[in-house]
A = this chain, B = another copy of it.
Amino acid sequence: MPVEELNQEERDSWMRALPEWSLAREGKAIERSFEFADFSEAFAFMARVALIAEKRDHHPEWFNVYNKVDVTLTTHDAGGLSLKDMKMAKAIGSLL
């Protein structure tokens, strides 16, 4: 079953529910930066996100340097943002 891109109304509604996330790539992705005490904590977070990603078969684009993790979510199959990204953003937020 193909994943559908959210329409603008759905997207805006989700963004209000996820105030820590920002739109990126002209509304085709969302992103959030996380900062931890050190690399150990940052990587522990990444390991937990990796488990969520694998379980949902939806994977982040992410960058890490020491205690910082930048996460970008988008749905390639949908050509933009889908429900998968928003639910994943919510799941990631619930780890903190």
Contacts and interface: CB of A to CB of B under 8 A. Distances in A.
B65 A59 contact: yes
A19 B17 CA distance: 48
A34 to B, nearest CB: 15
A65 to B, nearest CB: 4
A47 B54 CA distance: 15
A61 B63 contact: yes
Task: In the A-B complex, list the 3 residue pairs whose CB atoms are closest, starting with the nearest.
Answer: A61-B65, A43-B50, A63-B63
Given A39-B59, A60-B64, A61-B65, 11 more contacts: A39-B50, A43-B50, A46-B46, A47-B47, A59-B65, A59-B66, A61-B63, A61-B64, A62-B63, A62-B64, A62-B65
